[in-house]
Amino acid sequence: MNELASYLSGEWQRGTGKGAELCDPSTEAVLATVSTEGLDLAKALTFAREKGGPALRAMTFAQRGEMVRTLSKAIYEKRDELIGLAIANGGNTRSDAKFDIDGATGTLAYYADLGKELGDTQVLVDGDAIQLGRSARLFGSHVYTPRHGVAVHVNAFNFPAWGLAEKAAVALLAGMPVFCKPATSTGLVAHRIAEIMVESGALPAGAFSFLAGGVGTLTSHLEGQDVLAFTGGSSTGRTLRALEAVVARAVRINVEADSLNAAVFGPEVEIGSDLENLFTADVVRDMQQKTGQKCTAIRRVYVPRGRLAEIADLLAERLRRIKVGVPSRDDVGMGPLSTKTQLRDVREGARKIAEIAKLVHGSIDTVEALGREGDKGFFMSPLLFSHDSPSASDVIHNHEVFGPCATVMPYDGTGEDAARLVAAGGGGLVTSVYSDDAAFQKSCVLGIAPFHGRVTIGTSKVASQALPPGMVLPQLIHGGPGRAGGGEELGGRRGLAFYMQRTALQGDRAVLEAIAGKR
């Protein structure tokens, strides 16, 4: 049996005890086991702080950027092997696996370019210097320097490659050592990426640590200069925010959690138009891709009242074309859910929605899955619901069904009403608005914006080049308020701030500029 190891204090180590099993969600076969029992995590964190931190801080942004570029290339070279692991352990189709793995290498490459652009400096200057005294000598300015702790990254099961890489790229470029703890259930891809990163030789000792398996005592050893970046469910996020170590030592924490993302179909959009095609493709892709296990997937679809049945039928017709089954088959478009627990949770959530909404496509308890062995595997049918009288307190507005499930609901045709219903989700990662009507766009988008980290606006003019709302871009921020965790990641240079301390400097302008590396 393949027993996964952790990379701690500069060496690969295995925990003791029976450990957890990592499965193939199509066959339920056990692929590997993993345990973190008995591992010295306090020592590993100290090693990262004392060895990795100074080594990274001695490098310039340009040098760290080159290091990140080497990682991107090394991972890309093993793309096919990683795709195979994602199909086996994640239930990913080939296309799902590419989305995750190419997202990882693309994000690393983007931050490598940013390092080059920031150049041969170790300090980031924030904004212009401000004159404080009577003469043009006494000034104030703000600088960012890397924090002297460890960046602990706790990731969700659905993006084992991208989740690891998007956080690691930003932290390493900022100059902080990374301590990655991926989700246990889909850990094979993350584990292989960790091996590739270590084997690349690009990382100084202590710059990267990897904990395969349960979190153990990791978070109890956090210190004031450390940061904790978490992606996962909101209840785990709440637990982490309340950790004694986090509260007592004011550990900086970023939480990326659940989101009931929405799509709004504009009042004037005609069936058969480019805009309708964009909307339909986005909704169906988000239900199908990664079997709906995407934090950014569209869960709520708002359409003008009076068009509910027409649009629900349109979506249902497209969903009928999705072939569910073993994801290694070329004819399969949607693989299984990742774990048995996921299957149970998705079915339970769907049953709650079924109490108030009409199921217009799919079945909660049965599915025909191509290539399935008997009743093995965690397969699930896409589920489309329609609900004609949505209210803010509905389960649809407060329970995330993390699978191939969405609900179509009406709004009164105004941007204000659409925004009111979207906001009932309690804060989200992304919502997409499809309309060419300028007044509708403005009222809807400005109504939605305070409740979201990102809004995508589909119009006829950009329909042919629009990027899917579910695609997180390194150039733009990712995260959202409220239910979505209140976090913010990526966004180019903005993402570096989490891993750095902003300090106000006061004094002689020439001294400030010399310290900041301007002279």
- Tally of CB atoms within 10 A around 429: 28
The answer to whether residue 183 forms part of the interface with ligand NAP (CB under 6 A) is: yes
What's the rounded Cα separation, in Å, for the pair 122 and 106? 24
Element (H, E) at 508: strand 500-508
Cβ proximity to ligand NAP, 353 vs 429, nearer residue: 429
Cβ proximity to ligand NAP: between 33 and 280 the closer is 33
In whole angstroms, give the CA distance from residue 291 to residue 314. Answer: 20
Handedness of CA 80, 94, 293, 370 (dihedral sign): negative
Shortest distance, position 166 Cβ to ligand NAP, whole Å: 9
Under the binding rule (CB under 6 A), the answer on residue 443 touching ligand NAP is no
- Fill in the DSSP letter of residue 395: G
Residue closer to ligand NAP (CB basis): 227 or 516: 227
Catalytic site includes residue 23: no
Pairing of strands 477-478, 261-265: unpaired
**How many residues lie near ligand NAP (CB under 6 A)?**
30
Q: Which of 72, 93, 158, 209 binds ligand NAP (CB under 6 A)?
A: 158
As a whole number of angstroms, the distance between CA 507 and CA 519 comes to 15
* Rg of the chain in Å (alpha carbons): 24
Whether 405 is catalytic is no
Burial of 201 (0-12, 13-18, 19+ CB in 10 A): exposed
C-beta separation of 254 from 489 below 8 A: yes
Residue nearest to ligand NAP (CB): 232
Q: Is 215 in the site for ligand NAP (CB under 6 A)?
A: yes
Judged by CB, which is closer to ligand NAP: 240, or 284? 240
Q: 180, 295, 405, 444: which is the annotated catalytic residue?
A: 295
User: What binding mask, one character per residue, do residues 1-20 give for ligand NAP by CB under 6 A, x or -?
Assistant: --------------------
Interior angle at CA 128, CA 481 and CA 513, nearest 5: 125
Can you tell me the distance from the alpha carbon of 519 to that of 513, in angstroms, rounded to the nearest whole number?
A: 6
Residue 194 tokens, joined: 């960790």
Does residue 164 belong to the site contacting ligand NAP (CB under 6 A)? no
Binding residues for ligand NAP restricted to 269-328, rule: CB under 6 A: 295
From 23, 166, 256, 444, the catalytic residue: 256
Interacting positions 361-420 with ligand NAP (CB under 6 A): 400, 402
| CB 464 to ligand NAP: min, Å | 28
List the one residue from 144, 157, 440, 451 that touches ligand NAP (CB under 6 A). Answer: 157
Per rule CB under 6 A, is residue 429 in the interface with ligand NAP? yes
User: Based on CB atoms, which residue is closest to ligand NAP, 401 or 409?
Assistant: 401
Spatial CB neighbours of 113, under 8 Å, sequence gap ≥ 6 = 65
**What are the residues whose beta carbons fall under 8 Å from the beta carbon of 289, sequence distance 6 or more?**
95, 96, 99, 297, 470
Task: Using the minimum distance from each CB to ligand NAP, give the nearer residue, 36 or 72.
Answer: 36
Query: Which segment (68-76, 126-134, 211-219, 404-412) binds ligand NAP by CB under 6 A?
Result: 211-219
Would you say 189 and 129 are in contact if contact means Cβ atoms under 8 Å apart?
no
Instruction: Give me the residues that bind ligand NAP (CB under 6 A), please.
Output: 154-159, 181-185, 214-215, 219, 231-233, 236, 239-240, 256-259, 295, 400, 402, 429, 484-485
What amino acid positions are annotated as catalytic residues? 256, 295
